[in-house]
Structure 1
């Protein structure tokens, strides 16, 4: 048997890279019986059926470091949350949802801010960089048109498996094209009617950037299932809240309507971003509504 990594999966076929070779493989039926499906990013062991035509079977899936459900991909180390300053305009609640998701999955987070050349006076870029770097997130302003930030993104991809996350049309594929033109990835044309990009990436696929970097290009996605996050748990994923937990109700405080709340006091003092707090409340309400609907279904 040979060990490799699944770089693409289409219609029940998995393309496994073993050294310089690429094998078209199918998964053994035993995985279905176990309720386990191979994922792009999986480290696997394969048996060879036909060496000439590079055909094989997946015999074993090694333990996953991480597993994302949407997009379905395994063993990601770092997420580059990618948002544009214009066309489409930044949706800060959606950005914070991506951060919540990534924090929950214990991914190393970078924020990539694209199309910064469209922000003529720099006010949007400066505000986002200030708000998120103050929390502790690294923000990389990028313009594919001018080349700004492209080398910095390339550096971030070294030595790990990374995934680009963000709504369609913000320039994820364009960045990959700028880093490595040989990818020839299809890039999005902005739909004037919808104000956002058309989905151009049809399936998840891993690409090598030199010997030490692997990047996943995935279908555009903009929502997550929040049902597995508890109401009291959400604050853990707004990491700046940890500095302001001196609340009257201690760890029972959800920082919404409670009196003598350390987080709300920090908000009033300007130590917590108003935009971030609004995102927190909106996501909190979403989780609460999901829990209520779940309870009603189970009655």
Structure 2
């Protein structure tokens, strides 16, 4: 029996990396019976009956985490690619990404692209947002079209980590990946002027070796849901809110209508950004209002 890591999943096959080789495998029926599915990033045991034949995945090792969209396991961090124009920068969407990643214990790195498209006034506004997120504690990187130092800037953040490359369609994810790994020559998509978003260009999830780590390019998507998140957990997904929540009078305070709430006081004093708190409220209310699943 061999042991390796699933590096790619495509058309019902799982490609397990072991000792420098990719072994094409199928998942055993036992996983379907259990309602389980192997994921890219999983460490697995596999068998190959005869040389040259497909292998079978026998066991999935315990996971550090497992994302649903994209379907990938054992992720250390996410490189969140957001354009500042075409499509415009969207803090609501960014905070939704950040909350879900936090709930899965995935460290985010925010990468803002297309800064070369901004005029001076727009650059000033984006600079303020960058300071906001850096002050909270997030790492924020910027990227320009044909930036000569982009590869040098990004590589240290990817070293010895399993990283998901994620973000909306059309924000420059494939272009960014082409910069990191020119040999891939991925097809990039033009922005649909009528819809204001890009067309999907990535069709499967695959882990690619880069900078001594692994990088996953993932299909573009534009929203997250919070099916796996409880309303009480959202506080911990906003670092600045979590810090003040410890001072709230009542344990389990949701910072909505409760009295003597230190978080609401911090918002009123300007210590917590108003737009971040509004996004917190929106997410908590969305979870409260969701229909129960049976």
Fold shared by both chains (TM-score > 0.5): yes
User: Which moves more between the two structures, 248-257 or 197-206?
Assistant: 248-257
Aligned in 2, Cα 1:54/1:89: closer, same or farther, shift over 3 Å?
farther
| Distance in 2, Cα, partners of 1:62 & 1:258 | 43
For 1:139-154, list aligned pairs within 5 A: 139-154=140-155
> How far apart are residue 35 of structure 1 and its match?
2.0
> How far apart are residue 225 of structure 1 and its match?
2.9
1:146-168 C-alpha deviation (Å, 9 max, x unpaired): 23543222211110110012111
SS in 2 for 1:251: coil
| Distance in 2, Cα, partners of 1:8 & 1:54 | 18
SS in 2 for 1:201: coil
Q: Which residue number in structure 2 is paired with residue 118 of structure 1? A: 117
| Distance in 1, Cα, partners of 2:50 & 2:176 | 37
Q: Is the 8 A contact 2:208 2:216 kept in 1?
A: yes
Q: Which residue number in structure 2 is paired with residue 192 of structure 1? A: 193
| Distance in 1, Cα, partners of 2:246 & 2:204 | 46
For 1:89-168, list aligned pairs within 5 A: 89-121=88-120, 122-168=123-169
| Distance in 1, Cα, partners of 2:144 & 2:72 | 28
SS in 1 for 2:39: coil
| Distance in 2, Cα, partners of 1:44 & 1:247 | 44
SS in 2 for 1:14: strand
Q: Which residue number in structure 1 is paired with residue 244 of structure 2? A: 244
| Distance in 2, Cα, partners of 1:151 & 1:116 | 18
SS in 2 for 1:206: strand
1:63-87 C-alpha deviation (Å, 9 max, x unpaired): 1111111111111111112111111
For 1:135-284, list aligned pairs within 5 A: 135-210=136-211, 212-245=212-245, 249-284=249-284
Q: Which residue number in structure 1 is paired with residue 63 of structure 2? A: 64
> How far apart are residue 197 of structure 1 and its match?
0.9
Matched, 1:31 2:15: no
Q: Is the 8 A contact 2:150 2:179 kept in 1?
A: no
Matched, 1:17 2:24: no
Q: Is the 8 A contact 2:235 2:245 kept in 1?
A: no
| Distance in 2, Cα, partners of 1:232 & 1:37 | 29
| Distance in 2, Cα, partners of 1:140 & 1:100 | 19
Q: Is the 8 A contact 1:78 1:163 kept in 2?
A: yes
Superposition RMSD in Å = 1.9
SS in 2 for 1:89: coil
| Distance in 2, Cα, partners of 1:252 & 1:84 | 36
Matched, 1:88 2:87: yes
Q: Which residue number in structure 2 is paired with residue 73 of structure 1? A: 72
SS in 2 for 1:70: coil
TM-score by length of 1: 0.91
> How far apart are residue 249 of structure 1 and its match?
4.3
Aligned length: 292
